[in-house]
Structure 1
Amino acid sequence: MMQPRIDHTKVNPEAMQTMLKLEGFISRSGLDRTLYELIKIRASQMNGCAFCLDMHTRELRAMGESEQRVHLITVWREVPFFTEKERVVLELTEALVRIGDAGVPQELYERVRRHVDEAEFVTVIMAVNAINGWNRLAIATGMVPEARVTV
């Protein structure tokens, strides 16, 4: 079980501010909030980041997302509950998380571009970069979700 190692916000606040600037850019970009949370959740699932997965599934639920969609993000290919745009962005997210396996194939790029313009394409890449950074920061520093008691 992961144990907290260090509080990165205290030992290196400038690093935290840098990450928050990237988040600010994405927030101001116009990227759909639900789409961004889907990106965060799928990347966090793939990267094995319990802290981020807990945070972003709670955030998506708070935004009014259905439990069904939240639970089925990991198997988005197998269910009809995601839009075409969400599906291609989730596929791009997976390709970017595993960039060393096959890069981003031209065919995937073309399918994504049917749903996003060039600027949004770059923003999606930056969104994946951001959550990959947060995942690595959380895992390496031993961040764990808060225990929540439910009745």
Structure 2
Amino acid sequence: MQRLNYIKASPRPFEHLSTLSRYFHDCGFPGGLLELVWLRASQLNGCAYCTDMHVADALKLGEAPRRLHLIAAWREANLYSPAERAALAWTEAVTNVQDGHVPDHVFEGLKPHFDERQIADLTYAIATINAWNRLAVAFRVPLPDTPAGVR
């Protein structure tokens, strides 16, 4: 059961976070990269609501179901481009900061594929999905009966 309707309780931060999320859909990331990144972070954070939503959004964008099914095993699957692999490695490193750092080699792996603005935008996008995940998990946002798939 949902603990608190955080949107109703404090709508202004929700509006700002929503505006930030919309920015990433228009900032020039190729194809479904953003949805792959947001899906992987949501899995790592154990957020069923966001995982469900980003699978639905990725499918709407034409993402192959097989790639979505295997995203948790992206290192072992040959289904992801070098740029996607670099972004997924960065997503995992930035999401899992409990040990206090993000490795230099993971950052360096981004540089052949993304310019500085794209790296900054990607990192903001990862921070944003981590915020959404923490809200949904903390307040126990329920999984809808049908996939959310709504931005």
Q: TM-score, normalised by structure 2?
A: 0.91
Provide the C-alpha distance between the structure 1 equivalents of 2:55 and 2:81, rounded to a whole number of angstroms. Answer: 18
2:62 counterpart SS class: coil
| Paired residues of 2:2 and 2:139 also in contact (CA < 8 A) | yes
Higher helix share: 1
Q: TM-score, normalised by structure 1?
A: 0.91
1:99 counterpart SS class: coil
Structure-1 residue corresponding to 2:3:
5
Provide the C-alpha distance between the structure 1 equivalents of 2:101 and 2:87, rounded to a whole number of angstroms. Answer: 15
Structure-2 residue corresponding to 1:19:
17
Deviations 1:36-67 (A, max 9, x none): 10111000000000000000001111111111
CA RMSD of aligned residues (A): 1.5
1:104 Cα deviation from its structure 2 partner: 2.1
Between the two proteins, the alignment pairs up a number of residues equal to: 147
1:100 Cα deviation from its structure 2 partner: 3.0
Q: Please list every run of at least 4 consecutive aligned residues from structure 1 whose deviation after the TM superposition is greater than 3 angstroms.
A: none
Q: Which runs of 5+ in 2 are unaligned?
A: none
Q: Which runs of 5+ in 1 are unaligned?
A: none
1:102 Cα deviation from its structure 2 partner: 5.6
Percent identity at matched positions? 35
1:68 Cα deviation from its structure 2 partner: 0.6
